[in-house]
Amino acid sequence: MPLLGGIRPPIALLCVLILALAGLTAKVLGPGSDPVVPKAVLSSQQHFAEDGAIALRASIDERVTDLQRTAAALNAGAPVEPERVLSDLGRTYQKWTGTTVLDLESGKVLAARGEAIPLAWLDKDVLTGDNALKPHMVRLETGDVRLMTMVVLDWKDRPQQLLVASNSLTVPAITLGPFRSMAVATRDGEVLATAGFEQAEALNSDKQRQELTFLQKQMSRLSDQAAERTQQHPFSAKEPGSRGYPGVSGTLLGDDYNGRIATAGYASLASSDPEEKESVAAGLGLTVVAMLPVVQQESGEQDRKLFGLVAAGALVVLGMLAAAVLWATVQRPLLRLFLESRRLARGDLTRPVAVPRWGEAARIGSALERLREQLRGAGDEDAAPRGGRSRFGTRGPLVLTGALLLLWCVPVGLLLNRTDGSVSVPAAMVNDQRDRTDLIADRVRRALNEAQADLVSTSRLIDADNPGATADRLTDALRKHTRYQALYVVGEGGKVLARAGGDPRPWSEGEDLPLVRVSGKGEKKPTVQVGAPVPKHKGTTLVGELRVEFLNSLLKRPGLGEVRVVDADAQTLAASDGFLAFEELPNDALPDLVRAAAVQVGAGPVENGLLIREGGRVTVAAAAPFSGGGVAADVGWSVVSWQKADRFQIAPYEREDRSVLAGMLGLAAIIVCLGWVHLVVARPLRALATSAEKLADGDLKTVLYPRYQDEVGAVVRSLELLRQQLQAHRQNQARRPADQRLRVGGR
């Protein structure tokens, strides 16, 4: 009889799975110890650093692109005096700490604005070769670091000039909250800039000043570690199959001080879109580090370990009891039938058949006993069947076994470790939700400001009196700026003078009307318009329509849940997921949060985060209005985000998930093993009982074929042998009277 068939393998597999699940339950429901910092807090610091790295990368790339675009526009026109170049550049973009124009041949400074730019770093290697005119980091005498960006101004019949612009390497200008800090580090781990510590320097307490000194040292040490880790390739630095941030990112744990431990997330500067062209900022080798001290968790090790052992022990007891039921009610009677049928097939008819007490086994045993009596010649072929027909048969023990195992699966999976909205979400998670929302709001505001600045720069190259040339200029600008879906020039009375891209929307002139507007109520998508007056043409405006997909892409960040941009009436303008134009927010508490955030826009998003508890569910939400400079600061928009707290890697939620997983694994073991027994044993045994009773009732014509090479198949083969023996026996009995008559007639 093969070892892999019959009743033994599923029962053995059930025992193995129960023991394995019991060991897994003891491990995951009773961990040795909890981490000192929740995984959710560490992951949030990592996402915070990634957001900062994306914002810094976008800021640097945008500044380089703006300078290159300005140079291309100047080189395409008539020569301009250096002073005029810097004056126009300063009016269009307020982002550089200093600008300088110098003669490339002599090195003489022709014009300068803002902070004085040192020129000792300019040499042949910087201006020629493969890395010619690449951004260059320079340290000033004050110790501050500036990023120098260079472009060449080249006009016909004029010596080449070099336009140099400097700006500081700072983290995004957002509210970090108390004791949260961010830093920008080089490849060598040198910290170039920090933010957040200055908010705590005004503390008067000696204890707080000591903690501040401790955190500054931790930032220096963790930045050095982060810079070393970001030197890896993104593919080798991540686990196989992991997705998300295209660069290298991770988390670090520092030392503890007065019950608080320094947690940090780090991220290298990388393009937010892998298919995007190579980022200038990504090649600088910079790393953003976000650090936050958090209170260490207290571990409930003993209680949870005891709980895990009790749950595992209960599973072992119920599992062994279930296996015993299967052994006593299915396996043992079936093996007994196998032995009895083989004995009868070999011709041993002396001993009566040991008939099982109930079920299909009793029916088959009773049929075997009747066949034995018929073979001995003492049976009555027309006798009524012995042994009653059970309604459930073998299915009864299977149901009982499943019920025993469900006594463990249901409580563990559905009742134990339930949170029911009573989980205490760490304050750091609410703060991170709020601060990251503020970072996204700053990012969207800057993107709108950059879009308007691009239009200002382009408007100076437009000749409204030449529609053909203007249309060509707009087509070229639309091809270079993927953020727009349409560009058009609107004259007095709203007449469109030139256009490129999609169909233009109406644009009204007026001193009180903002340069950033939104329309499209009743449509699927809103239309965001940004305008810039065309110089020397009063009443003429260059209008660009932003793609909603561009705004949506700025909102998609892991670990932040659903993010939306809403107007002053809390109506949706853009979202990280699908939405309809101007639809309401899904939760009644979110519009109130948006309005409360707008009231304290001057103070920053200090109190703009909250927990929403509804029906046993906890939601973490935050809102941040647009604040800062630029034309987008006064549009009255806000960014609101929310996510379910059960998505956080917090110990209570993890234990609940582990309990549900344990219950589901137990249910899977029940389905697999008992389903196996039902298909391989119960159903064939029921069919075998019917065939055996027909055979005992005198049906000797139906040939019995075994379908499986197992115990049931062995009984079928024995019954077929008995059928053949019984058929031969009856033929012999029928032949005897004929022979006797022949003998009598011969005499």
Categorize the per-residue pLDDT at 169 as very low, low, confident or very high, splitting at 50, 70 and 90. confident
Residue whose token pair is 């009732």: 697
pLDDT above 60 for 746:
no
> Which residue in 215, 208, 201, 166 sits closest to 64, CA to CA?
166
Same domain for 630 and 700, yes or no, is no
Same domain for 114 and 216, yes or no, is yes
Task: Say what the pLDDT of residue 564 is.
Answer: 93
Task: Say what the pLDDT of residue 486 is.
Answer: 92
The enclosing H or E element of 311 equals helix 301-326
C-beta pairs of 607-611 under 8 Å, 24+ apart in sequence = 608/434, 608/437, 608/438, 609/430, 609/431, 609/433, 609/434, 609/437, 610/430, 611/425, 611/430, 611/645
C-beta pairs of 134-140 under 8 Å, 24+ apart in sequence = 134/280, 134/283, 135/60, 135/64, 135/280, 135/281, 135/284, 137/169, 137/186, 137/192, 137/284, 138/166
Residue whose token pair is 């700072």: 170
Domain boundary among 298, 321, 354: 298
CA end-to-end distance (rounded Å), the chain? 56
Q: Cα–Cα distances in Å, from 462 out to 283, 329, 467, 498, 731?
A: 34, 92, 9, 10, 114
Same domain for 566 and 504, yes or no, is yes
Domain boundary among 298, 330, 363: 298
Q: Cα–Cα distances in Å, from 565 out to 79, 443, 609?
A: 43, 12, 16
- Edge-first strand order for the sheet with 484-490 is 496-501, 484-490, 541-546, 527-533, 516-519
Categorize the per-residue pLDDT at 493 as very low, low, confident or very high, splitting at 50, 70 and 90. confident
Q: Which of 167-171, 544-548, 549-553 has the lowest mean pLDDT?
A: 167-171
Average pLDDT score over residue span 717-727:
84
CB 639, CB 565: distance < 8 Å: yes
Same domain for 230 and 160, yes or no, is yes
Task: Say what the pLDDT of residue 19 is.
Answer: 92
Residues 390/391/393/399 CA torsion (nearest 10 deg): -150
Task: Say what the pLDDT of residue 666 is.
Answer: 92
Same domain for 270 and 143, yes or no, is yes
Average pLDDT score over residue span 305-324:
86
CB atoms within 10 A of CB 26: 20
State the DSSP code for 465: T
Most confidently modeled range among 59-73, 79-93, 304-318, 518-532: 518-532
Kindly report, residue by residue over 187-241, the tens digit of the pLDDT: 888 888 888 776 555 555 677 677 778 878 888 899 899 988 888 877 666 665 5
Q: Cα–Cα distances in Å, from 449 out to 37, 462, 564?
A: 39, 20, 19
Residues 78/79/85/87 CA torsion (nearest 10 deg): -70
The enclosing H or E element of 47 equals helix 39-76
Task: Say what the pLDDT of residue 742 is.
Answer: 55
Query: Helices in 497-608 by DSSP H: which ranges?
Result: 548-555, 589-599
Residue 161 falls inside a structural domain: yes
| Cross-strand pairs, 499 | 488
Same domain for 596 and 712, yes or no, is no
Same domain for 580 and 447, yes or no, is yes
Beta-carbon contacts of 383 under 8 Å, excluding residues fewer than 6 positions away, are 370
CA 268 – CA 459 distance, rounded (Å): 36
The enclosing H or E element of 84 equals helix 82-92
Beta-carbon contacts of 452 under 8 Å, excluding residues fewer than 6 positions away, are 515, 516, 530, 531, 532, 630, 631, 632
pLDDT above 70 for 69:
yes
pLDDT above 60 for 383:
no
- Count the domains in the chain: 3
Task: Say what the pLDDT of residue 318 is.
Answer: 92
Q: Which of 285-299, 492-506, 522-536, 565-579 has the lowest mean pLDDT?
A: 285-299
Kindly report, residue by residue over 4-23, the tens digit of the pLDDT: 567 888 888 999 999 999 98
Same domain for 455 and 347, yes or no, is no
CA 704 – CA 444 distance, rounded (Å): 78
Average pLDDT score over residue span 272-287:
69
∠ CA(459), CA(460), CA(464), 5° rounding? 65
Write down the mean pLDDT value for the chain: 81
> Which residue in 690, 723, 702, 2 sits closest to 345, CA to CA?
723
Residue 29 falls inside a structural domain: no
Beta-carbon contacts of 615 under 8 Å, excluding residues fewer than 6 positions away, are 421
Residue whose token pair is 């500036």: 146
CA 14 – CA 156 distance, rounded (Å): 87
Burial class (CB in 10 A: 0-12, 13-18, 19+), 293: buried
pLDDT above 70 for 504:
yes
Residue 1 falls inside a structural domain: no
CB 435, CB 174: distance < 8 Å: yes
Residue 453 falls inside a structural domain: yes
∠ CA(41), CA(42), CA(45), 5° rounding? 90
Task: Say what the pLDDT of residue 602 is.
Answer: 46
For 263, the token pair is 């947690």
Categorize the per-residue pLDDT at 266 as very low, low, confident or very high, splitting at 50, 70 and 90. very high
Q: Cα–Cα distances in Å, from 166 out to 39, 95, 359?
A: 40, 9, 90
Categorize the per-residue pLDDT at 652 as very low, low, confident or very high, splitting at 50, 70 and 90. confident
Q: Which domain holds residue 398?
A: 7-17+307-382+392-415+668-738
Residue 746 falls inside a structural domain: no
Categorize the per-residue pLDDT at 156 as very low, low, confident or very high, splitting at 50, 70 and 90. confident
Q: What percent of the chain has pLDDT over 90?
A: 9
Query: Which comes out higher in pLDDT, residue 689 or 386?
Result: 689
Same domain for 289 and 345, yes or no, is no
CA 691 – CA 711 distance, rounded (Å): 16
Kindly report, residue by residue over 321-356, the tens digit of the pLDDT: 999 998 888 888 888 888 888 888 888 888 888 888
SS (H, E, C) 372-439: HHHHHCCCCCCCCCCCCCCCCCCHHHHHHHHHHHHHHHHHHHHHCCCCCCCCCCCHHHHHHHHHHHHH
Categorize the per-residue pLDDT at 604 as very low, low, confident or very high, splitting at 50, 70 and 90. very low
Kindly report, residue by residue over 654-663, the tens digit of the pLDDT: 778 888 888 9
Residue 26 falls inside a structural domain: no
Burial class (CB in 10 A: 0-12, 13-18, 19+), 3: exposed
Q: Which of 56-65, 367-376, 599-608 has the lowest mean pLDDT?
A: 599-608
Task: Say what the pLDDT of residue 488 is.
Answer: 92
Task: Say what the pLDDT of residue 390 is.
Answer: 52
CB 564, CB 588: distance < 8 Å: no
| Cross-strand pairs, 294 | 261
Residue 28 falls inside a structural domain: no
Domain boundary among 261, 276, 298: 298
Average pLDDT score over residue span 79-86:
87
Q: Which of 298-312, 409-423, 677-691 has the lowest mean pLDDT?
A: 298-312
For 424, the token pair is 């205490």
Same domain for 355 and 229, yes or no, is no
Q: What percent of the chain has pLDDT over 70?
A: 86
Residue 258 falls inside a structural domain: yes
pLDDT above 70 for 129:
no
pLDDT above 60 for 46:
yes
Task: Say what the pLDDT of residue 1 is.
Answer: 43
Same domain for 368 and 434, yes or no, is no
Same domain for 337 and 213, yes or no, is no
State the DSSP code for 571: B
Helix (H, G, I), strand (E, B) or coil at 168: strand
Residue 713 dihedral angles phi and psi, to the nearest 5°: -65, -35
